[in-house]
Amino acid sequence: MLIRKRDGREVEFDDTKITDAIFAAAKAVGGTDRQMAMEITAKVLEYITDNYKGVVTVEDVQDTVEKVLMKSGHSKTAKAYILYRAKRTAIRNARSELMDTVGEILKETDRDNANISNSPSAKMLQIASAASREYYLNRLIPERIALAHKRGDIHIHDLDFYGKTVNCLNIPLGKLLKTGFNNGHGFIRPPKRPGSATALAAIVLQSSQNDMFGGQSFGFFDRDMAPFMDGASDEEVFQAMEAFIYNLNSMHSRAGAQVPFSSLNLGLDTSDNGRKVTHNILKAYAKGLGHGENPIFPNVIFRVKKGINMDPGDPNYDLFQEAIAVAARRMNPTFSFMDTSYNSPYGGDVAYMGCRTRVISNRCGPEVTDGRGNLSFTTINLPRLAIKAEHDIMRFYQYLDEICDLVTEQLLHRFHVQANLKVRDLPFVMGQGLYLGSEKLSMSDTIGPALVNGTLTLGYIGLAETLTALVGHHHGQGEDAQKLGLEIVAFMRDKMDKAAEKYDLNFSMIATPAEGLSGRFIRMDKREYGIIPGVTDKAYYTNSNHIPVNFKISAYEKMRLEGPYCKYSNGGHISYVEFSASPVNNLGAVEDILRHMCACDCGYVGINFPIDYCSNCGYTGIIDSDYCPQCSAKFERRLKRKSCGDN
């Protein structure tokens, strides 16, 4: 007799495989008698001979084994066999899905991340990422948690790097430039001039990116670069900063697949050299790339603080004005406020990253920015909990309590996996002492003593849709919804604070930078629950605690409502204001809204507006006529920055 395998091949029937499978199932429930397995096999063969002619399929044989086991009174063995069969089916399906994914990647690399190219190296990275995700979900992560991710209850971010490295880092640039460093190919001496200092800063970002999966940030770029500006003219400093921006938009990391996801914090250094750094990086960013294209990186984050740059008469007020002018043209820099209720205790030492991450408080060491970052974060599908609760708020909180505990368990599991990595697994970040606590570790040591300084973060998405599902409207439509929204976010923050106390680790909460996740969750919920007005009747869930982007509301009212949420998201947050066009001719309005955002206790903010793009020459910026100022061609397209799911 021949048997047809699932791939269509026909091979000779081998009854020992049936015996082996039955015996394995019997052993799983305590059986030790192979003779029983052989007897059942004989009955299976008899049934097949009587009921099938010619070629029999694998599925036919397995169905027969289940029937014979049940009929023969071996119900426990039958159950074990069914479970084994289901597990093997899941593995096969995962492999099949992986192959489909690989096929799609070979056609076109995923461009959800702007810093991923479409090169052969990028395709290889994406294929490896897809395989890694399947491995971690099916082999490493506890089954209950993996299932929650697969069905869309939670989303484990950067799953492909689950057991290999950590998320992001505020790099101690000043330390590296002062002492020099080794990126694995020889020792690099400290720089002496602006050009060499910015060149080494780019190398540091590239080297760090190769060790990590998230963003890299310089928390004090102006302060750390200032010592290398002595005696340099403004032109020399400008050329150095322009080359730095060029490098960060062209110098790849991760096997040539990505440019470093980089952020620079600056604005508070009032020294002549520090001001020179800030002025010229802003000037270079305003100029753009070679044809005027908008630079993707770095994310420039301008710190604002009373007495330093916020008000007329402050020593760096002119730089604040310059930052506003550049942002009105390029949407960058973004702005962070050091005088909010939760940032002011740290003076001007709080740094953000372009992905909104914030790291400052620390249970396990000094409360500093340099040398610290987020280890990983996982996001809750908040609207799904509300849909399942069916307007019962107490039931919603019960679901939320359970899912917060599940995420805590998952973050702790990932932390222990990461903590068992060796210094040699992250040779630059840990081997060169970039991460706080790694300075005295040897290459064979595990990195746990350093990682305790990082953060483990819970995120959330779709507060607006959650409120609509619970009470019929979102927080932009009623103060009752706003009150409930604040209570929900405070509840999650309290859960993370209690986890921090229980495990003595830096658990925190982030207003998730959702990107593609906002679409993933809502697609899954549409399939599960159908179209629900105000909830699933759109393409994306609204990002974190934001008011829905298509809801008509003034910028001032939007910030009044969103601002109070920021203090709960101690792991990171951002607030955006949308302009219908570039405010380049109304800088006073930009400054007014920035001051209002600060007054509303928003810690990290940005402005959004459409940017013109010439498809003929690539010019990106503000085009005031129907023709490109670069090549005179008629421009056809307008771009708008994604607010991480707010679209």
Q: What is the pLDDT of residue 83?
A: 83
Classified as helix, coil or strand, 150 is: helix
Residue 122 has pLDDT above 90, yes or no: no
Answer with the residue of higher pLDDT: 167 or 611.
167
Answer with the residue of higher pLDDT: 635 or 260.
260
**What share of the chain in percent tops pLDDT 90?**
66
Contact (CB, 8 A) for 597 and 559: yes
The H-or-E segment that residue 102 falls in is helix 75-107
Q: What is the pLDDT of residue 100?
A: 64
Q: What is the pLDDT of residue 642?
A: 44
Q: Confidence class of residue 517 from pLDDT cuts 50, 70 and 90?
A: confident
Range of weakest confidence among 150-164, 366-380, 610-624: 610-624
Contact (CB, 8 A) for 364 and 505: yes
Q: Confidence class of residue 28 from pLDDT cuts 50, 70 and 90?
A: confident
Q: What is the pLDDT of residue 645?
A: 33
Q: What is the pLDDT of residue 644?
A: 36
Q: Confidence class of residue 101 from pLDDT cuts 50, 70 and 90?
A: low
pTM, full prediction:
0.82
Q: What is the pLDDT of residue 3?
A: 86
Stretch 73-86: mean pLDDT: 84
Q: What is the pLDDT of residue 11?
A: 85
Answer with the residue of higher pLDDT: 118 or 354.
354
Q: What is the pLDDT of residue 544?
A: 94
Q: Confidence class of residue 515 from pLDDT cuts 50, 70 and 90?
A: low
> Which residue type, as a one-letter code, is found at position 288?
G
Range of weakest confidence among 57-66, 131-140, 165-174, 423-432: 131-140
Cα–Cα dist 68/78, whole Å:
9
pLDDT digits (tens, 9 = 90+) for 331-340: 999 999 999 9
- Of 87-96, 164-173, 636-645, the range with the highest mean pLDDT is 164-173
Q: What is the pLDDT of residue 643?
A: 39
Classified as helix, coil or strand, 316 is: coil
Q: Confidence class of residue 1 from pLDDT cuts 50, 70 and 90?
A: confident
Say if strands 334-337 and 604-608 run parallel, antiparallel, or are unpaired: antiparallel
Q: What does the mean pLDDT of the chain come to?
A: 89
Stretch 167-194: mean pLDDT: 94
Cα–Cα dist 63/47, whole Å:
11
Distance of CA 81 to the CA centre of its chain: 40
611 DSSP β-pair partners: 639
Q: What is the pLDDT of residue 413?
A: 98
Q: What is the pLDDT of residue 399?
A: 98
What backbone torsions phi and psi does residue 24 show, to the nearest 5 degrees? -65, -40
- Of 74-88, 105-119, 212-226, 255-269, the range with the highest mean pLDDT is 212-226
Residues 6+ apart with CB under 8 A from 202: 244, 247, 248, 251, 260
Tokens of 165: 């490295």
Give the alpha-carbon dihedral of 485, 488, 490, 494, to 10 degrees: -170
Q: What is the pLDDT of residue 647?
A: 28
pLDDT digits (tens, 9 = 90+) for 283-316: 999 998 888 888 888 999 999 999 999 999 999 9
Q: How would DSSP label each residue in 438-479?
A: -TT--TTSBSHHHHTTSEEEEEEE-HHHHHHHHHSS-TTS-H
Tokens of 287: 């100029």
Please give the C-alpha separations between residue 456 and each of 251, 416, 480, 499, 504, in angstroms, as whole numbers: 30, 11, 31, 10, 11
Q: What is the pLDDT of residue 190?
A: 96
pLDDT digits (tens, 9 = 90+) for 210-255: 899 888 999 999 999 999 999 999 999 999 999 999 999 887 765 5
Q: What is the pLDDT of residue 502?
A: 98
Answer with the residue of higher pLDDT: 580 or 177.
177
Stretch 44-64: mean pLDDT: 88
Nearest Cα to Cα of residue 571 among 58, 18, 1, 167: 167
pLDDT digits (tens, 9 = 90+) for 123-132: 666 666 777 7
Q: What is the pLDDT of residue 111?
A: 47
Question: How many other C-beta atoms lie within 10 A of the C-beta of residue 160?
Answer: 18
Answer with the residue of higher pLDDT: 104 or 27.
27
Q: What is the pLDDT of residue 409?
A: 98
pLDDT digits (tens, 9 = 90+) for 2-20: 888 776 788 888 899 889 8
Residue 95 has pLDDT above 70, yes or no: no
Q: Confidence class of residue 620 from pLDDT cuts 50, 70 and 90?
A: low
**What share of the chain in percent tops pLDDT 70?**
89
Cα–Cα dist 485/463, whole Å:
7
The H-or-E segment that residue 424 falls in is none
Cα–Cα dist 174/598, whole Å:
29
